[in-house]
Homo-oligomer: A and B are copies of this chain.
């Protein structure tokens, strides 16, 4: 099926509609960027920001650090609000930073920091930002489809995710959503977004152009087809049931790890990404290789300051099952012997 085939346009419209359901939003401008998750970050930043703008970016892991880099490449003056890896930001942290930099156009924050497993509460922060007229940009790569992500209720202005985490679709697309307010800001830009491929002012004529679809780029048709199916599966399960399943399996894993004396690093842990301390004496690489070779289970290595110190165990989407949790626990016992 070609990307201009009328049947494809229908498929894409349905996909965007299901994405709105999963993002819990009415935002018309909700669509999958034609590239993996990091392109979603770049799409949001490149479209919202112009050279000379100021932004506050909350940094407590790899993905906050990246957002700083992506912002700076757009000519943005970035104020980093930092905390230790594994910790989250309090409303007070954010309020203080906003007081210091009241001219910031956006505050960028990671909802689910894949590098640390920290689960950032957003609702209070959003309120504080909006009271000061600052837009909220959220990285939901590892939460969408596994944790509630309430774009409208939490007043998120721009958000991106990836397909290969809790949506249980192959990697290749990055679902984004922009609030009407963000769209207004984009439409009143003084300069063109620096990326043609990610330029929302053109993409919206494709994704929202009801009467006539303006050709922009060739969409990855098969990937959109896969996402369509993944979203249908999610909505069939139901969001609440899905979130409850992620929580249940997280608790089961946590209890099992506790029995093995393996503790969590973040105080506020995600259900979807379980970042735990490698037990004393365990050979990091050997255990991971053995899990992969013998059990076909891949767990993540620690990144940055957690390299060699942490394992990151995903319980995402389709894979968050009791059978997987129990197999991993048994496999860990075996590999740690």
Closest Cβ–Cβ distance, residue A225 to chain B (whole Å): 9
Q: Which residue of the partner chain, among B36, B38, B73, B292, contacts A193 with CB atoms under 8 Å?
A: B73
Q: Mark A1-42, 1 if CB is under 8 A from B, else 0.
A: 011110000000000000000000000000000111111011
| Interchain CA distance A34-B35 in the complex, whole Å | 6
List of B residues within 8 angstroms of A197 by Cβ: 35, 38-39, 42
Q: Is A69 an interface residue (CB 8 A)?
A: yes
List of B residues within 8 angstroms of A34 by Cβ: 35-36, 39, 172
Which chain B residue lies CB-closest to A38?
B217
Interface size on A, residues (CB 8 A): 39
List of B residues within 8 angstroms of A5 by Cβ: 292, 298
- Give the dominant DSSP class at A's interface: loop
Contact A195 B4 (CB under 8 A): no
Contact A219 B35 (CB under 8 A): no
List of B residues within 8 angstroms of A232 by Cβ: none
Q: Is A295 an interface residue (CB 8 A)?
A: no
List of B residues within 8 angstroms of A2 by Cβ: 298
Which chain B residue lies CB-closest to A222?
B170
| Interchain CA distance A194-B218 in the complex, whole Å | 23
Q: Is A108 an interface residue (CB 8 A)?
A: no
| Interchain CA distance A4-B194 in the complex, whole Å | 30
Which chain B residue lies CB-closest to A226?
B222
Contact A42 B73 (CB under 8 A): no
Contact B171 A3 (CB under 8 A): yes
Closest Cβ–Cβ distance, residue A130 to chain B (whole Å): 27
Q: Which residue of the partner chain, among B39, B162, B222, B292, contacts A172 with CB atoms under 8 Å?
A: B222
Q: Is A221 an interface residue (CB 8 A)?
A: yes
Q: Is A74 an interface residue (CB 8 A)?
A: yes
Q: Mark A276-314, 1 if CB is under 8 A from B, else 0.
A: 000000000000000010000010000000000000000
Which chain B residue lies CB-closest to A3?
B171
User: What 5 A-B pairs have minimum CB-CB distances, sorted nearest first?
Assistant: A172-B220, A35-B35, A170-B222, A38-B217, A171-B218
A: which residues have CB within 8 A of B? 2-5, 34-39, 41-42, 66, 69-70, 72-74, 162, 164, 170-172, 192-197, 217-223, 226, 292, 298
